[in-house]
Amino acid sequence: MKDNNIDNIIELSNELRWQIGDEFHDNLTESIYADAADIVKDSVTTQDGEKRFRLDSKIDKIVTSKIWGFPIMFLILGTVLWLTIVGANYPSSLLASLLLDTVHPLLQSGANSVNMPWWLAGFLIDGVYLAVAWVIAVMLPPMAIFFPMFTLLEDFGYLPRVAFNLDSLFNKSGAHGKQALTMSMGFGCNAAGVVATRIIDSPRERLIAIITNNFSLCNGRWPTQILIATIFIGAVVPESLSSLASLLAVISVAVLGMAFMFGVSWALSKTVLKGEVSTFNLELPPYRPPRFWKTIYTSLIDRTLIVLWRAIVFAAPAGAVIWLISNVHVGDETIAAFLINGMDGFGFLLGLNGVILLAYIVAIPANEIVIPTILMLTVMVTGIGGGAGAGVMFELDSINATGDILRAGGWTLLTAVNLMLFSLLHNPCSTTIYTIYKETNSVKWTVVASIMPVILGFVVTFLVAQVWRLLF
């Protein structure tokens, strides 16, 4: 009897709901909003908001004007990037000389004096410690410079105007204007760029921004690009032009990355992401003087240290793996040599070589250790002098010496060009992959974001290699 009553009531409620019609719910919500707005209008008074607003709109008129909007934007973002890349050199080399040139030998001799077995010392000091030290030395300074500057701009209120200016470009590829910001953030660090996509509240556009963030050349890859461009691209033009040529080469790779970002965004929004909900809106908050110290503090703690910690966690086992594959022998060759021989054919098809492919596999945890790993493996495989021993990553102070080692490893201009392309188009580092998983909570999108760039990288380098060999 009782159950029957309940059923009747539910039936009646469904019936009534149906009679009221679809618009009822909307109308109710809207009238609540309208009432709330009325109450606010009557009871809240605003004081001297006018004056601030006038200053705001003056700034806005300039930074979003047809003439000045884009030059100002390029100037500011360019300055930030330049300060980061150039400014990070000094603290980086300081850290490197401390951690790599001073502490590392100290640890080695310390291990010797307590008679630690060679394999344990190699594994811990040459493998784990070296990778961690390397990541800290290369990664920390640029992030410590880039993130605070970026956060200051954000805090001041300028960045939303950049999103506003650029939105129609992103709209054409199905993305959100705020992706301009997460993309710029990606130039600092892709993991941080992925975290920054939280500012995009539309689900579809946010996924697009996450998946394509890897096309921003991050801090870990700038040094690789600059080094390779200086050695190989700079060498093909007269010496007076060489630094200009290598600079242009690096910039074109970064611009190519942006082109890929737009193209892939467009393709994603037309195919796999078609069904996701999209809501656009962009708030332009009033300008305010940035809270300097607070910003510095939070950007160092929230962004820099968290990202650095994740990188260290992933770099430590990578160092161990690098040391192990170069020291554990199967038959008469090391695992590394075995893998390199196995991948040489495929590498050749891509205009690369087995060493590079292996380096990119073991250096998934951090792009920073790609070049040291390549150098170590090249020395090991070719058997030329130099280097610091099997499994011990190293870098040379002299760019010429580095070039000599690479050329001895069979590198040509094609290898260099394709390495630069592959450095742009390959899977994100494991820190970023982990962050993508954290942010999307989806294995599917994490896999897409990780695999798609590698496939693109394979296709692009393959095509370049074949065309190059046909032409030259």
Partner 1 sequence: MENYSPLLALSIFFIVVALLYVLFRPTKGWFWIIRKAFESSEKVIIEDVLKQLYHFETSNNRVDMKTLVQILDFKNTDIVEAVKKMTINDLIYSESDVLKLTEEGRDYALRIVRVHRLWERYLADKTGIHKKEWHDRAESMEHRLSHDEADELAAHLGHPKFDPHGDPIPTKTGKMASVHGVELPLLPVGSVGKITHIEDEPEVIYKQILAEHIYMGSLLKVIENNSTRIVFESEGEEFKLAPIVAANLTVALIEKEVVIEDNIARLSSLKEDETAKIIGISKENRGESRRRLLDLGFVKGSNVSIDLLNPLGDPNAYLIKGTSIALRKDQASKILIKKD
Which position among 62, 71, 75, 274 is part of the footprint of partner 1 (CB under 8 A)?
274
Give backbone dihedrals phi and psi of 165, rounded to 5 degrees, phi first: -60, -40
Residue nearer to partner 1 on the CB measure, 110 or 345: 345
Report which DSSP code applies to 333: E
Min CB(196)–partner 1 separation in Å: 19
Number of residues that bind partner 1 (CB under 8 A): 59
Read off the tokens for 68. 């000045």
Which position among 102, 345, 397, 455 is part of the footprint of partner 1 (CB under 8 A)?
345
Residue nearer to partner 1 on the CB measure, 8 or 31: 31
Lookup result for tokens 């709209």: 171
Name the one range near partner 1 by CB under 8 A: 19-27, 115-123, 130-138, 386-394.
19-27
Q: How many Å is the Cα radius of gyration of the chain?
A: 27
Min CB(342)–partner 1 separation in Å: 13
Interaction residues for partner 1, span 442-471 (CB under 8 A) = 462-463, 465-467, 469-470
Name the one range near partner 1 by CB under 8 A: 57-65, 314-322, 363-371, 423-431.
57-65
Element (H, E) at 298: helix 292-298
Which position among 278, 298, 382, 412 is part of the footprint of partner 1 (CB under 8 A)?
278
In a 13 Å sphere around the CA of 152, the CA atoms on its Cβ side amount to: 14
Residue 57 binding partner 1, by CB under 8 A: yes
Residue nearer to partner 1 on the CB measure, 59 or 245: 59
Give backbone dihedrals phi and psi of 341, rounded to 5 degrees, phi first: -60, -40
Interaction residues for partner 1, span 247-266 (CB under 8 A) = none
Min CB(452)–partner 1 separation in Å: 15
Interaction residues for partner 1, span 370-389 (CB under 8 A) = none
Residue nearer to partner 1 on the CB measure, 283 or 332: 283
Measured distance CA(435)–CA(307) in Å, rounded? 9
Contact 362, 373 (CB under 8 A): yes
Which position among 5, 18, 117, 443 is part of the footprint of partner 1 (CB under 8 A)?
18
Lookup result for tokens 């094609």: 414
Measured distance CA(437)–CA(286) in Å, rounded? 34
Name the one range near partner 1 by CB under 8 A: 23-31, 84-92, 308-316, 421-429.
23-31
Min CB(236)–partner 1 separation in Å: 21
Measured distance CA(11)–CA(5) in Å, rounded? 10
Which position among 75, 94, 284, 447 is part of the footprint of partner 1 (CB under 8 A)?
284
Contacts of 392 (CB under 8 A, 6+ apart): 122, 126, 130, 323, 376
Contact 150, 245 (CB under 8 A): no
Q: How many CB atoms lie within 10 A of CB 15?
A: 9
Interaction residues for partner 1, span 66-95 (CB under 8 A) = 66, 69-70
Which position among 25, 291, 294, 329 is part of the footprint of partner 1 (CB under 8 A)?
25
Report which DSSP code applies to 372: H
Min CB(28)–partner 1 separation in Å: 12
Interaction residues for partner 1, span 138-177 (CB under 8 A) = 164-169, 171, 177
Cα–Cα nearest to 215, from 183, 177, 246: 183
The alpha-helical segments, DSSP class H, found in 124-221 are 130-156, 158-172, 179-188, 190-196, 203-212
Which position among 74, 82, 106, 201 is part of the footprint of partner 1 (CB under 8 A)?
201
Residue 45 binding partner 1, by CB under 8 A: no
Contact 317, 153 (CB under 8 A): no
Name the one range near partner 1 by CB under 8 A: 65-73, 236-244, 317-325, 403-411.
65-73
Element (H, E) at 329: strand 329-330
Name the one range near partner 1 by CB under 8 A: 10-18, 179-187, 243-251, 440-448.
10-18
Contacts of 212 (CB under 8 A, 6+ apart): 175, 179, 183, 260, 261, 264, 265, 268
CA 10 to chain centre: 54
Residue 48 binding partner 1, by CB under 8 A: no
Measured distance CA(98)–CA(299) in Å, rounded? 25
Residue nearer to partner 1 on the CB measure, 276 or 395: 276
Residue nearer to partner 1 on the CB measure, 273 or 406: 273
> N- to C-terminal Cα distance for the chain?
90
Q: Which residues bind partner 1 (CB under 8 A)?
A: 14, 17-18, 21-23, 25-26, 29-31, 33-34, 37-38, 46, 49, 53, 57, 60-61, 64-66, 69-70, 164-169, 171, 177, 201, 204, 271, 274-285, 345, 348-349, 462-463, 465-467, 469-470
